[in-house]
Structure 1
Amino acid sequence: MTGTRRALLIGAGRYTDERLARLQAPTRDTAALAEILADPSIGDYTVDVLLDRPTTEVIPAVIDLLGTAGPDDLVVIYFSGHVLHDEQRGLFLTTVDSRADDLAATALSAERLTSLVRDSHSGQVIFVADCHTLGTTDLGTIIDLTAAGSFASRSGIFAMVSAEELQYSFTNSGIPQMIDSPGRSLFVQALIRTLRTGTADADGDGLITPVELHQAVVAEMSRLAPLTMPPAVVVTPEAFRALVAYAPSALAPVDDEADTEWVVRTRGYGDRPPEVDLLDRAAAVDTLVELVSPRGSGPDDLAGPTVIALDGAWGTGKTSLIELTERQVVALPRAVDQAERPKRLRAHAAYRALGGNKRPLWTQRMMPQAKENTRPPVVTARFEPWAHQTGEQVWAGLAKTLLDAVGERLLPTGDAATERYWFQRNIERVDRTRLRKALRKNAWSPLLTAAVLALVIPIAAQMARSMDRYVLVRWVEIAGSNIAVLLIVALLAAGAAHTAYRYLKPATALLPTDLFVGPLSNTLAGNPTDEDLRDPYHNARSGYLYLAQHDVFAVLRDVEAAGHHLVVFIDDLDRCAPSTTAEVFEAINLFVTRTFPVTRFVLCLDTTAVATHLDEVHSALQGKTLHGDDPTPGWSFLRKLIQLPITVPTVSHSAVGGVLGNLLGSVAPTDRRPLADNVEDLPHQHVATLSPATAARPSSPEVTKTVSFLEHDPRVRERMAERLRDQPAPSVRETKRLLTTWQYYLRVLIRRRGTAQLVEEARQLVVLAEIITRWPSAQRGLHRRVDGEHGLQVLAQGMADDWQWARALRQLDLHTHQQHKAVAGIRGLLLRYEGEQLAKLAAELV
């Protein structure tokens, strides 16, 4: 076959439906298989990966792959995830947003997939599925995905399907939940190993065919786990000689007695954020998603923190953390009512609006509305402030980021409703009289102008001539002068008709396009080339800054009225110039102080660097400590603005093995000579170091119920009251900060340990939350690792001895005069509240 070789790999490991277990295998297996298939010496495929993507992306990708393939092409479709059946026993391949109670609308049906395969013009199609199913689903039904009535009815097919059964667990509310078995898929391990080593090349011709691959996979699975059900297979005659892969002879199995040469899997790594969780931060990501995605309407002050800060040095994974969070937020199911679809705005309607007609051109129903009593939809935006310098540039960039994000989801460019929306907004700030005149001028037909100019002279000339008469038809006579008049009248009528027609054209054809595609602030901030645009506010003292704020304010009010919420992720604040950093915080402060609708911000920053920037900009405040134990005004400013400070942990000693496993593969067993391929050879050795609760992590309702129980426990409440009473400057804001931080780490702890009794840990977390929120400037030192131990553990070991304490402070760089009050307070808490146990808990969570 001389055509193209394309592969589409679909992995679904995370699900928004809490009844579907999260699967570890799809993420790892999809990445490993993509590497093999893309290797020119093995698969030589052009590979596309869809990992944890919604059904609205998966189905079009499958249609595009099969629909564009030609007779000489070979396509591979791989699926790893839950396969479920509905009440009619129809099979469905699930995606991240699939719902167990509505599979027909939220998943890819096997019937549709096989129909697409049958209708494809591709010469050969390979379908490989690694299915995970509920314990109540007959595994034989899953295997029937390859039955003769499905794929086998189409020539040129090789289908191989493996099924693994998952078990039920039940939540406290009685909702059935699936439990994932830890580790990687045995089927995919065997598949990858046979391709990587070339053992599937039974005849030694260097080419791997479907029959050879199936036989090799079955043999390998039997060797690794003898009782495992082998994969089902269908191979039509036309696919017998399909070239599935090349046999990498250089990596053929080696004799145990021969020298073994390891194969390098990488030539090095770039600094791009990884697309998968390498550090087992799923609990932190889940909690962040829960905090930034509201579940319903209610008082703004009770809906969670508005500003969350992820604090960490460069390279600690802040960007990857917010990307994982944003991906989950976007994938959350959102129920909206379809927006009304108006007609294009015509010139005559725009003319009436410019004349003061009060009838609205755009109404709220023209924007998608969130359904009542459902989880509000979320619009996400990503802002990179380091690319801006001045205050106006910061606001211009932030305004454009927010408006683009809203436009993509709610006000798409070119849509009739969008044109009406921006025209109605923009005419409030232009010279309407001038613009109305411009519309009349543009609508006036050239034919009408010519008719008017030509009317007077011919009439006068003809009237001066003799009244000769002409016969038009047998019974109609007309004077010659009247013929000239009729011609002019006809031209005049044609011009009037053409003018009327132009008034019926879309208004975009006759007015400046800036009125219909977005706010006028960008146009008016400079020197507009179109003289018809005039803004009464443009010469106001606030200038462009006012315009940008006004635009964002108006749009977000409409977004809020439609029931949507906005989450803004701001990265790399510590890379900005000091003035830019200050401008960004001033912009955020406008949102926080209720000038704007409620908008949530997630900031990625190094608080030490940012506090230094703020001190430099506000140098006049030096020497004036604005709050308690804060060493400088910059720290007090951060305290005021940030409601939830989260320290992003570095890679602990216990996690090093997991990171290496994710990047390089598993470690070879010690009881055998290492082979070049045994990175996939260990069915029971997991790539990542995971907490015991990872395989059956509590669902969100379970976590919420446990948190609610602990919040009302009298022992926990007593500890809270005790610590708040001891605060040097107690306030409502500081109380909220402490409780928000306590809740966050409690949720992380529950997701790591399960819902067992955690009262004592919850009491200790109150003290840990106080340390985090009360002394933010000391956090970098407190979370530093010394000989593998967390900073608080180092302090706890020396808390009872002055010399050991001083030595620990120097090791953590907390011995400066600025940190004197902070470390004294921390020492007091460690001595009073079982410091070693507290430090051990901090090492686990932070």
Structure 2
Amino acid sequence: MARKALIVACSKFDDDRLADLPELPALAAELAAVLGDSTIGRYEVTVALDPTALEFRRRISRLFKDVGPADTVLLYIGGHGMNTAPGGLRFAASDTRLSSPVVNFVPAELVEDLLDHTSCGNAVVVLDCDHAELFRSPRPLRPTFARLIVASEPVASRGMLADFTATLIEGLRTGIADLGLDGVITGEDLSRYLVDFTGQRPPAVMWAGPLGELHIADNPSSRRQKSDLPPLPGAAAEVRPDADVDWTSDSPARDDLLHREDLAALLADQLIEIQLKQPDSSFLVHLDGAWGTGKSTLLNFIRPNLEKNFLLVEFDAWRQARLAHPWWTLLTAARDEIAADLGWWRAKVLRVRESFNRVRRTGAQYVFALGVLALFAGGLAFWLWPAKGTAAGWNEAAKVVTAVLAATIPLWTGSLIASRYLLWNSARGAKLFEQSGTNPMTEVSAHFSWLLGRSKKPVVFLVDDLDRCGQEQVVDLLDTVQTLFRDSSRQAPFFVVAADGAWLRKSYETKYTTFDECVARPGKPLGYLFLDKLFQLTVPMPLVTSSLRKLYVDRLLQVADPADAQVAAEVDSLRERLTSDRGQEREILELLDESSSAAKAEVVGDAARALYQPGTRKRTEHALRKFAPLLGDNPRGMKLFVNTYSVFRAIRTLEGNTVGTDTLALWCIVRVRWPDLFDHLQANPPAVAGVLDPILVGDHFPERLQDVAASAEVREVMASPMGGPLFEDRIKQCCGDLGGD
């Protein structure tokens, strides 16, 4: 019986037209203490103070994740609310701009939908904001499911916020909300208490299900035993030699023990942001790692972070490669997901409209066949129809109809079979279609664009297991994405491809081996050129440091550390500072350096999110401009450099690695300009001696890399005073090797 609580408190706002609420942080801290108290709420409490709109939505979605009928969740939202009719109630976040309420606000509909569709048995939502009364009443679900909404009444001044929330805290802390005097504060008790005790403006109360059985908290003044509640999450547990240890499988993980979910959330936030800014441009992300490094697990964590904003199309490349050409399998997968999202009736309408659209574009031969069939049937009927309308004539007419049907049914069956080929409703039909017409792929691209336009949300393809396909399948799929589907619609599709980069590069280099010498560049062979052209963002899989490995093993073995309480206190302090301080990257990294290894392993996700805050990102990007002279003549160089740096910084932070900004920036320049050299140095850091001293280049580099390693351009970057020289130890740190960590 899990008990989870989320407190979202927005007290500071970037928009001056939204008044700050200075009393809210202290109230949120008091409420968190009460809900997390072992004698009162016993909730696993999370506090989100002044979150951005993206973080606001992500936190709420995570609250309702992985809960079941026996679990209880409580959501408190305090701050500003807006009536954006016809959009209804929307909550303001720290980065809200009143000039753009659709993008920067958090819709109450998000919470309403989660309440309607979650499998959680008990849910409580407490709203202390303007226009909270606009929140929709919960829908009745199962008879045993309880839903309680308590919404503060609209006020002329937000000074009333302290009255309502303070009353809530007081009722739980003292136990006076236990109106039934039975030692338990139920949903019915709490709603009656807030209506009776909240000043002159009682809140609105909406509910569904048995409120009397909704266990919100215990009365701390009661002597009643609390054996029906689970132990506090994170509480010290006795370490027993015979403790049960759960078996684990080798399938992609669903529980995040290595901060993959934090990385997934950052990637999802970036994709959402890009889609809002450039809806007509595709964006391709490459999750790069060898087999067994967690690519599929990362995809699993990306899904729930994207499903609210995107329609997800899962595509198993290895399985689909055996069916037909990639354009047909991709299009079919997209159509199936779009139809499923539309519902049964609208899906049928979509199939009819799609058939007409295909006929209009590519079915001229099919239409001609149907016309010939109709003329044949009509001529046959005219020829056999009796001249007189007598009974005998009608008998003859019946015979005529029978004869016509007998003649047309085989033709109609044949036309249906032909349609599967002419309108590419089957794999064989797709192959036949490729061989017909002068430019069939133009029609495919146009039809894909039409199909995406029928989706209610932008589409993102999650492509997995591409590195199990042969070279022909790899190249065909990626070329199809690049030439046919990319930027094919006003609502362009996004692609997240999980595959070993070495496998993809080798596939291109093998297929186009004759062009390698004339196209490849020093330090950038043909395979790298193809992937750089395809993907706007490449994300290497994070490493597992020793502290993370210890935390991971301890959780798998369910081992409790006697120092857990001390570490938990340090973690709480660090999270509070990371949430409240929106400083520079250097300050956030210094905060991690000051923490213990155990606490650092717990808060690296919070640090990565702090680094992703818009203000911090802008200051970091400004600081990186000084490296522009080292980026060469590639017009896309600065953009690729910033994207690469942001990914490497997030990954190194999640590993607990606080390598300096300038040092990591130089390493990212090497990755952008000479990726082949980068891979060699990453695998063999001592080889840097051949760069810093060209006399030694032959001892450390294969022949294909000796010229580029000895070049003055490479040495200028590697030995730059801005973060360099990149000696062996610095390269190891940039690659995630913390030495004694």
Asked if TM exceeds 0.5, the reply is yes
CA contact (8 A) 2:313 2:461 kept: yes
Matches of 1:101 and 1:553, distance apart in 2? 37
Deviation of the 1:425 alpha carbon: 0.6
Counting only pairs closer than 5 Å after superposition, residues 652-801 of structure 1 correspond to structure 2 as 652-669=545-562, 690=601, 692=603, 694-695=605-606, 698=609, 703-713=613-623, 716-720=624-628, 722-724=629-631, 727=632, 730-745=633-648, 761-784=660-683
Matches of 2:498 and 2:423, distance apart in 1? 31
Indicate the residue corresponding to 2:154 in structure 1: none
Deviation of the 1:400 alpha carbon: 1.7
Matches of 1:590 and 1:745, distance apart in 2? 29
- Which SS does the other structure have where 1:316 is aligned? coil
Deviation of the 1:313 alpha carbon: 0.9
Are the structure 2 counterparts of residues 385 and 824 from structure 1 closer, same or farther at C-alpha, using a change threshold of 3 Å?
Answer: farther
Are the structure 2 counterparts of residues 624 and 58 from structure 1 closer, same or farther at C-alpha, using a change threshold of 3 Å?
Answer: closer
Question: What is the identity, as a one-letter code, of the residue corresponding to 1:214?
Answer: K
2:424 to 504, 516, 521: 521
Indicate the residue corresponding to 1:146 in structure 2: 186
Deviation of the 1:458 alpha carbon: 4.3
Matches of 1:518 and 1:732, distance apart in 2? 45
Counting only pairs closer than 5 Å after superposition, residues 478-497 of structure 1 correspond to structure 2 as none
- Which SS does the other structure have where 1:274 is aligned? coil
Indicate the residue corresponding to 1:262 in structure 2: 242
CA contact (8 A) 2:317 2:464 kept: yes
CA contact (8 A) 2:312 2:461 kept: yes
Deviation of the 1:731 alpha carbon: 2.2
CA contact (8 A) 1:649 1:783 kept: no
Matches of 1:765 and 1:222, distance apart in 2? 37
Matches of 1:776 and 1:388, distance apart in 2? 31
Matches of 1:390 and 1:318, distance apart in 2? 22
- Which SS does the other structure have where 1:214 is aligned? coil
2:272 to 293, 296, 304: 293
CA contact (8 A) 1:384 1:570 kept: yes
Indicate the residue corresponding to 1:403 in structure 2: 335
Are the structure 2 counterparts of residues 16 and 413 from structure 1 closer, same or farther at C-alpha, using a change threshold of 3 Å?
Answer: farther
- Which SS does the other structure have where 1:77 is aligned? coil
Are the structure 2 counterparts of residues 658 and 562 from structure 1 closer, same or farther at C-alpha, using a change threshold of 3 Å?
Answer: same
Matches of 1:163 and 1:839, distance apart in 2? 55
Indicate the residue corresponding to 2:370 in structure 1: 435
Deviation of the 1:273 alpha carbon: 1.0
CA contact (8 A) 2:600 2:656 kept: no
Indicate the residue corresponding to 1:327 in structure 2: 304
Structure with the larger helix share: 2
Matches of 1:58 and 1:649, distance apart in 2? 24
Q: Deviations over 1:173-222 (max 9, x none)?
A: xxxxxxxxxxxxxx9xxxxxxxxxxxxxxxxxxxxxxx99724869x779
Q: Which has the higher contact order (CA 8 A, sep 6+)?
A: 1
- Which SS does the other structure have where 1:271 is aligned? coil
Q: Deviations over 1:719-768 (max 9, x none)?
A: 22x212xx3xx2224444223323444566799999xxx9x954444322
Indicate the residue corresponding to 1:539 in structure 2: 436
Question: What is the identity, as a one-letter code, of the residue corresponding to 2:243?
Answer: V
* Pairing 1:275–2:283 present: no
Indicate the residue corresponding to 1:590 in structure 2: 483
Indicate the residue corresponding to 1:604 in structure 2: 498
Matches of 1:552 and 1:441, distance apart in 2? 36
Matches of 1:221 and 1:818, distance apart in 2? 59
Deviation of the 1:422 alpha carbon: 1.5
Deviates more, 1:400-409 or 1:311-320: 400-409
Question: What is the identity, as a one-letter code, of the residue corresponding to 1:307?
Answer: L
Matches of 1:459 and 1:127, distance apart in 2? 73
CA contact (8 A) 2:421 2:429 kept: no
* Pairing 1:380–2:312 present: yes
Deviation of the 1:566 alpha carbon: 2.5
Counting only pairs closer than 5 Å after superposition, residues 418-567 of structure 1 correspond to structure 2 as 418-428=350-360, 429-430=362-363, 431-435=366-370, 453=386, 455-456=388-389, 458=391, 520-523=423-426, 525-526=428-429, 539-540=436-437, 546=440, 550-557=443-450, 559-560=452-453, 564-567=457-460
Indicate the residue corresponding to 2:158 in structure 1: none
Q: Larger Cα Rg: Structure 1 or Structure 2? A: 1
Matches of 2:147 and 2:278, distance apart in 1? 51
CA contact (8 A) 1:422 1:518 kept: no
Indicate the residue corresponding to 1:651 in structure 2: 544
Matches of 1:403 and 1:115, distance apart in 2? 31
Are the structure 2 counterparts of residues 77 and 455 from structure 1 closer, same or farther at C-alpha, using a change threshold of 3 Å?
Answer: farther
Deviation of the 1:330 alpha carbon: 0.7
Deviation of the 1:383 alpha carbon: 1.8
Matches of 1:595 and 1:127, distance apart in 2? 44
Matches of 2:64 and 2:235, distance apart in 1? 36
Question: What is the identity, as a one-letter code, of the residue corresponding to 2:704?
Answer: Q
1:105 to 112, 125, 140: 112
Are the structure 2 counterparts of residues 423 and 584 from structure 1 closer, same or farther at C-alpha, using a change threshold of 3 Å?
Answer: closer
Question: What is the identity, as a one-letter code, of the residue corresponding to 1:707?
Answer: R
2:510 to 608, 612, 616: 616
Indicate the residue corresponding to 1:842 in structure 2: 734
Matches of 1:629 and 1:555, distance apart in 2? 37
Equivalent residue pairs, number: 572
Deviates more, 1:399-408 or 1:683-692: 683-692
Cα RMSD after superposing both structures? 6.1
Question: What is the identity, as a one-letter code, of the residue corresponding to 2:258?
Answer: L
Question: What is the identity, as a one-letter code, of the residue corresponding to 2:541?
Answer: V
- Which SS does the other structure have where 2:562 is aligned? coil
Q: Deviations over 1:103-149 (max 9, x none)?
A: 873554649999969x83x7xx9999xxxx99946235568561555
Deviation of the 1:521 alpha carbon: 1.0
Are the structure 2 counterparts of residues 103 and 607 from structure 1 closer, same or farther at C-alpha, using a change threshold of 3 Å?
Answer: closer
Counting only pairs closer than 5 Å after superposition, residues 111-126 of structure 1 correspond to structure 2 as 120=143
Indicate the residue corresponding to 1:831 in structure 2: 719
Deviation of the 1:567 alpha carbon: 1.8
- Which SS does the other structure have where 1:521 is aligned? coil
TM-score, length of structure 1 as denominator length: 0.53
CA contact (8 A) 2:423 2:429 kept: no
Matches of 1:315 and 1:139, distance apart in 2? 48
TM-score, length of structure 2 as denominator length: 0.59
Are the structure 2 counterparts of residues 224 and 704 from structure 1 closer, same or farther at C-alpha, using a change threshold of 3 Å?
Answer: closer
Are the structure 2 counterparts of residues 104 and 570 from structure 1 closer, same or farther at C-alpha, using a change threshold of 3 Å?
Answer: closer
Question: What is the identity, as a one-letter code, of the residue corresponding to 2:367?
Answer: R
Question: What is the identity, as a one-letter code, of the residue corresponding to 2:242?
Answer: W
Q: Point out where structure 1 has 5 or more consecutive residues left out of the alignment.
A: 1-6, 27-32, 34-50, 63-75, 89-93, 165-186, 188-210, 226-250, 255-259, 333-377, 461-486, 500-507, 529-534, 671-678, 785-790, 810-814
Question: What is the identity, as a one-letter code, of the residue corresponding to 1:614?
Answer: Y
1:214 to 194, 212, 226: 226
Deviation of the 1:657 alpha carbon: 1.3
Deviation of the 1:270 alpha carbon: 1.9
Matches of 1:619 and 1:223, distance apart in 2? 56
Indicate the residue corresponding to 1:316 in structure 2: 293
